[in-house]
């Protein structure tokens, strides 16, 4: 009985060792798959760059940076506009910014001016089913009210710092943002 158990254990170890070793053809297959994945991201990047436009949007300035190997893109969108109290537009970045104000009970009741910059980062995904990974970061977020400005700092949608500065009337030409 002990010989049978010992023999069975040796056979299982042998088969386990064989299954852990990959053959050269498996490595070639995996490299081809990785190459195709990079090709998918680069194709997506070319398609995306050809469709990016700020015409007809609320974006004041857009800066696009692509890495030399084309495996990373950063799109920085700047906004500086006056918001009416009932804005329910379709610009997802502006809706996100207004939601951050609402969640933190900082959205003014009167029309106000908002000035913010959001960076969007796209990289090749390590997840087989996804073409890219996405992240965003708010670089600047200032809310102008009648006689003050509120400078806010967010990380991953969480308010981490706020500074209230009292200044002269923001309706004057030097504060019009134009």
- In tens, the pLDDT along 5-29 reads 665 555 655 555 445 544 444 444 3
Strand partners, 82: 113
β-bridge partners, 134: 122
- DSSP states of 29-73 as a string? HHHHHHHHHHHHHHHHHHHHHHH---TTSS-SEEEEEE-TTSSEE
How confident is the model over 82-136, as pLDDT tens digits? 988 667 777 889 989 989 999 999 988 888 999 999 999 999 998 988 999 999 9
**DSSP designation for 90:** S
Kindly report, residue by residue over 72-90, the tens digit of the pLDDT. 999 999 999 998 866 777 7
Confidence of residue 32 (pLDDT cuts 50, 70, 90): very low
């Amino acid at each position: 009985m002990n010989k049978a158990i010992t023999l069975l254990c040796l056979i299982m170890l042998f088969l386990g060792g064989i299954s852990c070793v990959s053959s050269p053809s498996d490595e070639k297959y995996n490299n081809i798959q990785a190459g195709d994945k990079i090709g998918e991201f680069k194709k997506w990047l070319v398609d995306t760059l050809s469709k990016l436009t700020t015409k007809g949007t609320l974006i004041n300035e857009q800066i696009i940076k692509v890495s030399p190997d084309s495996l990373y893109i950063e799109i920085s969108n700047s906004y500086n506009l006056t918001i009416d109290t009932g804005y329910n537009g379709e610009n997802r970045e502006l809706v996100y910014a207004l939601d951050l104000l609402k969640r933190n009970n900082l959205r003014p009741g009167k029309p106000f001016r908002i000035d913010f910059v959001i960076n969007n980062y796209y990289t090749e995904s390590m997840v087989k089913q996804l073409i890219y990974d996405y992240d965003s970061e708010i670089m600047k977020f200032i809310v102008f009210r009648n006689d003050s400005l509120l400078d806010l700092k967010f990380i991953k949608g969480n308010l981490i710092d706020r500074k209230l500065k009292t200044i002269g009337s923001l309706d004057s030409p030097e504060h019009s943002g134009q």
